[in-house]
């Protein structure tokens, strides 16, 4: 089960990043919260990041897990990629 604290931030992601988020969180529910690189990265002390990427933007969704195996989404950061 996933609890989202920053739901409005998730819903404001562009359609490609939102689709990627939904796919990866579905995998997390079925296979566990640590999917490994390039999808998730452990940041230490129980904090993880979900790494989302589209052709023009990247987003990082920060989350932690609880003892009862619930995933808690904490925050979302997005950044546009430079055009070369």
The reply to whether 78 falls in a domain is no
Please tell me the distance from the alpha carbon of residue 20 to that of residue 23, in angstroms, as a whole number.
Answer: 5
pLDDT of residue 1: 65
Closest by CA position to 49, among listed 37, 32, 31, 66: 37
73 within some domain: no
CA distance 47 to 63: 6
Domain membership of residue 6 (yes or no) is yes
Q: pTM for the complete prediction?
A: 0.83
The stretch 17-21 carries a mean pLDDT of: 93
Of 14-23, 35-44, 71-80, the poorest mean pLDDT is in: 71-80
pLDDT-derived band at 39 (thresholds 50, 70, 90) equals very high
Domain count, the chain: 1
Note down the domain range covering 33.
Answer: 2-57
Residue 79 lies in a domain: no
Residue 33's pLDDT is what? Answer: 85
Distance CA 73, CA 63 (A): 4
User: Is 11 a member of any domain?
Assistant: yes
CB 20 within 8 A of CB 52: yes
């Amino acid at each position: 089960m996933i609890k989202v604290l920053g739901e409005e931030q998730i819903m404001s992601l562009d359609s490609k990043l939102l689709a990627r988020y939904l796919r990866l969180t579905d995998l997390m529910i079925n296979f566990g919260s640590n999917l490994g690189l390039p999808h998730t990265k452990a940041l230490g002390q129980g904090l993880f990041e979900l790494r989302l990427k589209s052709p023009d933007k990247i987003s990082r969704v920060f989350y932690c897990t609880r003892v009862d195996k619930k995933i808690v989404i904490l925050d979302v950061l997005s950044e546009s990629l430079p055009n070369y």
